Structure 1
């Protein structure tokens, strides 16, 4: 009997969360909750290291035609742990930028830069002033190539990190002067208040941000893209509900001029943190549309971002076009 009571106590919050997320997915899909022409696509490193050709550019143009994709985040790093970036990593960056600008007018190309961070990894230390200066210099280095913006993906950034905010403040000065964009990838927001603190204390992992810290980061950038995947949700309805909740939480605090983009899982993985049959592009878009439709359906600075081009299937693209474009 005691064991039964303990099990019931442990399962109660799990069951409550399950019911809550299922209800989150129960919203109505508004027809006006679709692309605003401000979507993005993460691109792999092959586009700038010499593995792609003009034929690939033409095929990319066909892929993007008729969609709402405005920005391409092309993998240009990773940064060295001191914040520097070797030019040997991007021999064809200028070719790619010029080819996109010539063949795909209106599409912007941003340098996707990042690294693993301390203290969780032996990586870049955002709290070190010298390292931050190197990141600023690297950003200038990328903009000098002709990139339309800088897209940072540092992981994991702990909720409340002042070093990360300092990087954004310093780089934003440069991008503003150059009339370039500053965008970031962001982890999901606490689905439960204080969960980021529990995650850091119990698992030494900064998976979540508080809503307040998300808002602080959003105030320092032009675009913020939530990596709304790897959620451990076991079925599509719960995943869609989770994304709907994330969309609402982000919309509540993202400044109106800042582009808020919700990440779509255009890749396959099947492990403890990501159930491939549940985390689909179609399920994510459903959650995005529910969250947008009930929270801020008139917002223009909003979109989705597909991760990632080299793993996306024909079905992923078909779902994106049918349900969002």
Structure 2
């Protein structure tokens, strides 16, 4: 046999082996079911959350500053506010997080329209209205500055006093590396300034994973527990994980669901699910990170852990990105009917 025939045979054997391995891997992937489809509503406690847009509470100056004057009627019309409340009520939402970021350089909360805050609270009677405050670490949020922290806490206390029907606030700082000590101080100071009985919620980060090695947006167990000890609610942002395939994302959601529920030190946990379309960025692929895949992973994780007492439900990011199809996916794949 000539040398070139021997080489050809070797190439054929290698190609056959690679094809066999590829076929085995494909079959294994098809048989792998990291998520779970559940349609009977068993995991819905009807105490879910959702993030809302700035316009519902924000001052008129916000619309002018951002060139959104044409959108004011959508947010200011009482019928629209009531319609939103009814829609969310039908979908098992009890906690709403209207956007009020960023804070000022000094630590003051973003300005609101007091009249429209009260109108919103009228329409959302029976909900817990927990405005979402904070901003970008090192820009609008300067936690290392004691004066900034003091002003931030005092601004929250005044906001609560001006609108006592507010249920609390949610603190969101992005990014926020695991182990940041100033954030723990901030939570302690906010807690001390808030009226008794108000909810201190945190937009929390998911556990580390080898599939997304960015420590500034993942929290180690020890730090997750420290934050949990200082607040009433952890709303975990379980997205922006840069996953390219649906099943690995379902698996990640399963793991994160189990971990964050087991790591809570008694604070209630909402599992954040993505409903937005940030196309063209490396950290989020909407065809993968979406409500359908997220819910399947969460269902599998809850099937593993059971409904622990700290489990409150899911939180949708965000209302202003939700489509009719996504509301239908939520109804079919999670809600009690």
User: Which band: TM-score by shorter chain?
Assistant: 0.7 to 0.9
Query: Partner of 2:206 in structure 1?
Result: 188
Is residue 132 of structure 2 the alignment partner of residue 112 of structure 1? yes
Matches within 5 A, 1:81-100: 81-87=105-111, 92-100=116-124
> Partner of 2:124: helix, strand, or coil?
helix
Residue 180 of structure 2, aligned match among 158, 161, 167: 161
Preserved contact between residue 53 and residue 99 of structure 2 (Cα < 8 Å): yes
Query: Partner of 2:256 in structure 1?
Result: 246
Q: Which runs of 4+ in 1 moved over 6 A?
A: none
Cα–Cα, structure 1 residues 34 and 88, in superposed 2: closer, same or farther, change >3 Å?
closer
Partners of 1:316 and 1:299 in 2: how far apart?
A: 28
Preserved contact between residue 37 and residue 333 of structure 2 (Cα < 8 Å): no
Is residue 132 of structure 2 the alignment partner of residue 139 of structure 1? no
Cα offset for 1:85? 2.4
CA RMSD, aligned part only? 2.6
Query: Partner of 2:245 in structure 1?
Result: 235
Cα deviation per residue 1:250-274 (whole Å; 9 max; x = unaligned)? 011113x421111111111222111
Preserved contact between residue 82 and residue 123 of structure 2 (Cα < 8 Å): no
More displaced 10-residue stretch of structure 1: 272-281 or 76-85: 76-85
> Partner of 1:274: helix, strand, or coil?
coil
Residue 73 of structure 1, aligned match among 97, 104, 111: 97
Preserved contact between residue 259 and residue 302 of structure 1 (Cα < 8 Å): yes
Q: Across the two proteins, how many residue pairs are aligned to each other?
A: 290
Partners of 1:322 and 1:28 in 2: how far apart?
A: 10
Cα–Cα, structure 1 residues 90 and 221, in superposed 2: closer, same or farther, change >3 Å?
same
Compute the TM-score of the two structures, normalised by the length of structure 2.
0.79
Report the structure number with the largest CA radius of gyration: 2
Q: Which runs of 5+ in 2 are unaligned?
A: 1-24, 61-71
Partners of 2:328 and 2:110 in 1: how far apart?
A: 37
Residue 144 of structure 2, aligned match among 127, 131, 134: 127
Query: Partner of 1:218 in structure 2?
Result: 228
Partners of 1:188 and 1:221 in 2: how far apart?
A: 16
Cα offset for 1:32? 6.5
Cα–Cα, structure 1 residues 264 and 85, in superposed 2: closer, same or farther, change >3 Å?
same
Cα offset for 1:27? 5.6
Partners of 1:98 and 1:31 in 2: how far apart?
A: 33
> Partner of 2:101: helix, strand, or coil?
coil
Q: Which runs of 5+ in 1 are unaligned?
A: 1-15, 201-205
Cα–Cα, structure 1 residues 86 and 268, in superposed 2: closer, same or farther, change >3 Å?
closer
Preserved contact between residue 215 and residue 253 of structure 1 (Cα < 8 Å): yes
Cα deviation per residue 1:159-211 (whole Å; 9 max; x = unaligned)? 11111001111112233x43110101112211249x8xx745xxxxx121112
Residue 302 of structure 2, aligned match among 279, 283, 292: 292
Compute the TM-score of the two structures, normalised by the length of structure 1.
0.81
Preserved contact between residue 233 and residue 279 of structure 1 (Cα < 8 Å): yes
Cα offset for 1:33? 4.4
Residue 44 of structure 1, aligned match among 49, 53, 65: 53
